Structure 1
């Protein structure tokens, strides 16, 4: 936790900024035999109100896994801005035509060639319950210099801001 406590509203706002900047994430589910399985997913651009939305196919392994165990982890890494976010929550799957129309992007046609009429198209909604983020506002060079100074001084490096947020 950072020395100066960030208010919950500020922390939620920061999480929103970080996930929008990263856009691509890893969605981790639990397989039917209990192993963790991660795969890249593209976050659909929407106002983040505690829910994340993804398009997928109803016959995908992730959907089968979510039906057995809906607890998931979603992680974002933005190397350019040196920020990382880990979100935990509960996922549900279902197709809502109105929601799908609102979330649809022409880029999705690569995976779903018939657009919203692609057979088996569905949405995964992750209702986020908690998040943790790490934000390093300094450049890589500044971070490396801090790391070197810390090694000489025998103290841990300043790793930037780290906050936990409940939703």
Structure 2
């Protein structure tokens, strides 16, 4: 990967670092687009995103049939949209590695499938990993609220363009 491409991926990672919830859009059997919020598993972004879903989730059935998805994330002054391919990852060691109290809280609320487990993990709570292998990421980065307000006012007075956001599309590895 070139230094420019690596820098672009790092920029996307920086913009996403504070995002905790993503809207994941998949394709239903009838062709409808379906979005749902999922908790982003915190790993160093290299073009892949990781999520825990219930093994009975509609999302899982959809990506097994039509793996193309889009993931939208928002943090303080930025928005990122990642297009890619989702897949089920059946790797108990990786699931345990990514398992955390936030994920456990979501699944524990649903009820454990193994009520005798002392420390129920992903398998006992019916959680499976879905990996999104990103192909492109598009981002919009704001210069902040004050700069945006000034740019909007300037654009209105001069009838020019609003220059308060930066928009780029990045090819992911």
TM value normalised by structure 1:
0.89
- 1:60-98 residue CA offsets vs partner (Å, 9 max, x unmatched): 0101111111000001111x2x10100000000132111
Structure 1 CA distance for aligned equivalents of residues 5 and 164 of structure 2: 20
Shift of 1:148: 1.2
Shift of 1:142: 2.3
Higher alpha-carbon deviation: 99-108 or 127-136: 99-108
Shift of 1:117: 3.2
Residue in 2 that maps onto 1:83: 78
Report how many residues are paired: 159
Shift of 1:118: 2.1
Structure 1 CA distance for aligned equivalents of residues 20 and 103 of structure 2: 14
Residue 74 of structure 2 corresponds to residue 69 of structure 1: no
Out of 122, 125, 139, the residue aligned to residue 128 of structure 2 is 122
Q: Secondary structure at the match of 2:7?
A: helix
Out of 154, 165, 168, the residue aligned to residue 160 of structure 1 is 165
Residue in 2 that maps onto 1:3: none
TM value normalised by structure 2:
0.86
Q: Secondary structure at the match of 1:48?
A: coil
Structure 2 CA distance for aligned equivalents of residues 45 and 51 of structure 1: 11
Alignment of 1:112-151 (within 5 A): 112-113=107-108, 114-137=120-143, 139-151=144-156
Structure 1 CA distance for aligned equivalents of residues 80 and 66 of structure 2: 22
- 1:86-130 residue CA offsets vs partner (Å, 9 max, x unmatched): 000000013211101111102222222332232532100000000
Residue 114 of structure 2 corresponds to residue 109 of structure 1: no
CA contact (8 A) 2:84 2:133 kept: yes
Runs of 4+ in structure 1 off by over 3 angstroms are none
Q: Which runs of 5+ in 1 are unaligned?
A: 1-5
RMSD: 1.6
CA contact (8 A) 1:108 1:115 kept: no
